[in-house]
Amino acid sequence: MTSKVARFFLSKFMFWILVVVVGCYFLFSIDMKKVEKMETENGKKFSFVEKIYKSISMPHLKLGIDLQGGTYLVLGVEVEKAVDAKLKLENKNLDQIFKTGDLKVWPIKREVIDSNLVLSFNDENDAKSCASLIKKDDFILKTSVKDTNVVCTLTSAEEQRIRMGSVEQAVNVLNNRLSGFGVEGIVVQQHGDRQIVVQLPGVDDPDRVKAVITQTAKLDFKIVEKTARSEREIVDDFDGDLPADKMIVRGKVKRGQMADEESGSYYLVSAFPDLTGDHIVDARVTYDQYNRIAVSFSLDASGASKFKELTGNNIGKQLGIIIDNVMYSAPTVQSEIGSSGQITGNFSPEEGNDLALVLRSGALIAPIKFEQETRVGASLGQDSINKGIMACVVALLALFFFSIIYYKTAGLFAVLALIFNMFLILLLLSYFDSALTLSGIAGIVLTIGMAIDASVLIYEGVKEELKNGIPFRKALNDGFKGAFVVILDSNITTFLTGFVLFKFGGPAIRGFAVTLMVGILATVISGVYFLKSVFDFILDNTKIKDINV
């Protein structure tokens, strides 16, 4: 008796029971308060069975927007503007090259036109001298001289790097921004060369999220050269023709004020930043000296050094803090400033939090525009869940009757392995924070059909062995061993297909691919190891020595 109890607890089957117990503890949650709230809202009392059913949930299993409702966005990344921004930055860097190379005559005009940086001179020889200097010291620019102009373009490798990098960077920035909303199941994925797909399941305020998504959050620090009450007042100082290396930015419009009112402030600044917000390492909502909401930021070591130099050289001047070409504040520099600063601008608490979030997550290299928006209602999502569950149940019942009729008692064990297979799929999806989508449910249904193949291969091998007069236990072991290589080989090839679909497919295809790959792992575990342990448990702990196959 003691030896039987020991074998029982040391059996492999007990390991799987432990997996089920721990998995259920992780996967499922019971919330009776939710049921009580539903009873209060509906004015109806549920039976005990209904209460248990409605109280069970899977908090760790994320649902895609097609199952719980939400917003589906397709965004386009304007990669050409990222190229232009890089050229503007290189134009700023040319100043140091010109100083070091002792350029005799500097360009009279600089501007970025159609992804070309054009430097204009009065004399063609001056243009050639400038081009030679750039070729010598700047390795990412290609230069050519056209009359009195030097035309600079990025090298093919650098332009390709920026185009690809701007989309990848946008995905990372949006992931960081959207994670700050605390909403589970948000998906941000690159689609094609310049598109990004964003799935926002169950978001209460999609318009606010959209505003945060599209905000470039490009922070520039520029010394203010002139302040005026209107744009015309500044342009008149240049006889109506603003130089290409200058720009006018408007002050931030106060809440409740129309954007086209003439009561705002306008600032003349350089077209090229003195310092960018790329060096920001943290941004938080704080309060200014008047107890108004502000956003404080801190810079990395390199940014702090540049900020210190910028403020130290411009004491008494206004330092413009510009975000997306809007002047948020322009304080007068009183002293040298090091690694931190503060942005004021009559913020509401929500505006302050959103600005801190986008600054903290980083600026977008290239602007983003909306190309498509689809909203899915929660009721439609629930209908999809119900139909998906029904499809899985029908598939299981069909396989149950087939297995029982064809393989008798062994067929019942095969169905048990299928149920364990589905449990493993849900457990793995929950553990790895993968979102379950409608296409994912299709992958589960397909996995159910594929999983029975493992049992069929094993049982047919056992039958062949039994026909040769081999005892059942040995025939069983030989059947599992003989089928293992075939099962592993077929599932590896299918797994690789799923990986290719995940790597190159769109969001819907990826949802299918994820469940397919997870389902294949679950199939090998349940169809070989779990099923074998069931047979061993029955044969070792009962008087049964032969099972109908």
Per-residue pLDDT tens, the chain, 549 aa: give them: 445 555 554 557 788 888 889 988 888 888 777 777 777 777 778 777 777 777 787 877 877 777 777 788 888 988 888 888 888 888 878 888 888 877 888 888 888 888 899 999 998 999 998 999 888 888 888 999 998 999 999 999 888 888 888 888 888 878 877 776 655 667 788 888 888 888 877 665 677 777 777 776 677 889 999 998 888 889 888 888 888 788 899 887 765 454 444 556 899 998 888 888 777 778 888 887 778 888 888 888 888 888 888 888 888 888 888 887 888 888 888 788 777 878 776 777 877 787 777 777 666 778 888 888 877 766 556 677 778 778 878 888 888 888 888 888 888 888 899 889 989 998 988 888 777 877 888 888 888 878 888 888 898 888 888 888 888 889 888 888 888 888 888 889 889 998 998 888 766 788 888 888 998 999 889 888 899 988 888 888 877 777 877
Return the axis-axis angle of helices 206-214 and 349-361, rounded to nearest 10°: 40
Predicted confidence at residue 1, as pLDDT, reads 45
Residue 369 and residue 531: Cα distance in Å, rounded?
52
d(CA 71, CA 409): 48
Task: Give the Å distances, CA to CA, from 113 to 25, 80, 89, 153.
Answer: 62, 11, 14, 10
* Residue 7: predicted pLDDT: 54
Q: What is the pLDDT of residue 151?
A: 93
Is-contact 410 475, C-beta < 8 A? Answer: no
Q: Are 273 and 257 in contact (CB under 8 A)?
A: no
Q: Quick one: three-class SS letters along 147-176?
A: CCEEEEEECHHHHHHHHHHHHHHHHHHHHH
Tokens coding 233: 């007042």
Domains and CATH numbers, the chain: 1-59 (no CATH), 80-157 (3.30.1360), 221-349 (3.30.1360.200), 377-541 (1.20.1640.10)
Strands of the sheet containing 340-344, edge to edge, are 280-287, 293-299, 340-344
Q: Which of 506, 507, 416 is nearest to 455 (CA)?
A: 416
The per-residue pLDDT for 224 is: 92
Give the tokens for residue 40.
Answer: 């209060």
Q: What is the pLDDT of residue 361?
A: 67
Listed in sequence order, the residues at least 6 apart from 218 whose beta carbon sits closer than 8 Å to its beta carbon are: 276, 277, 323, 324, 325, 363, 364
pLDDT of the residue at 381: 62
Q: Which two tokens stand for residue 410?
A: 């062994």
Q: Which two tokens stand for residue 293?
A: 């909401």
In degrees, rounded to 5, the angle at the alpha carbon of residue 255 between the alpha carbons of residues 252 and 256 is: 125
DSSP 3-state assignment of 59? coil
Both tokens assigned to 109: 């005009």
Please tell me the distance from the alpha carbon of residue 426 to that of residue 420, in angstroms, as a whole number.
10
What dihedral angle (degrees, nearest 10) is formed by the CA atoms of 498, 503, 504, 509? 50
- CA 159/CA 467 separation, integer angstroms: 69
* Closest to 430 measured CA to CA, from 514, 374, 339, 364: 514
Report the pLDDT value the prediction gives residue 150, as an integer from 0 to 100.
92
What gap in Å lies between CA 137 and CA 133, rounded to an integer? 6
pLDDT at 420: 92
Cα–Cα distance, 325 to 239 (Å, whole number): 23
Q: 41: buried, middle or exposed (CB in 10 Å: 19+, 13-18, 0-12)?
A: exposed
What is the layout of strands, in order, in the sheet containing 187-191?
Answer: 187-191, 195-201, 70-77, 368-376
